[in-house]
Amino acid sequence: MDKIVQDVLACATKHFALENISADVSFVDADEIKTLNSVHRGKDNETDVLSFPLVDYKNATEIEIASITNPDTKTIMLGDIIICAEVAKLQAEEYGHSLERETAFLILHGFLHLLGYAHDEMESVYEEILTKAGYVR
């Protein structure tokens, strides 16, 4: 899974001409994502991916960006992306593509949320970034 994370984040940051941007990606089971979804979103069900931004990146001030920047590496840590491996597997089967492609899609979806994108703004970039990363349908 580390390769998929690296591939997707590298292609997404290149697509948006961003440098030194990163996110933590974790994989959890259905029970854990259900708990996180309930606690943080008030929804008592499993979901495929959750994003937890450290700041509102689109509207962040220089001080806010500095607060999430590693002073040694100068890397900006946008936040956390949590993916439910069980839901990803079910969705891959449902959509008829590989688990790797579904996982790449979920990483990208979460990353776009960390950048401040709403769902309707994401549609135009999914396929281009996933294709460049090598995760086609």
Q: Is the pLDDT of residue 30 over 90?
A: yes
Average model confidence (pLDDT) across the chain: 95
Report the domain count for the chain. 1
Which structural domain, as residue segments, surrounds residue 24? 2-133
pLDDT digits (tens, 9 = 90+) for 72-104: 999 999 999 999 999 999 999 999 999 999 999
The predicted structure's pLDDT at residue 108:
98
pLDDT digits (tens, 9 = 90+) for 48-72: 999 999 999 999 999 999 999 999 9
* Helix residue ranges per DSSP H, 58-118: 62-67, 85-95, 99-114
When computed from its CA atoms, the radius of gyration of the chain, rounded to whole angstroms, is 15
Residue 42: both structure tokens together: 């008030």
- 112-137 mean pLDDT: 92
User: pTM value?
Assistant: 0.94
Q: Which CATH number does the domain housing residue 117 bear?
A: 3.40.390.30
Cα angle 27-31-107, degrees, rounded to a multiple of 5: 25
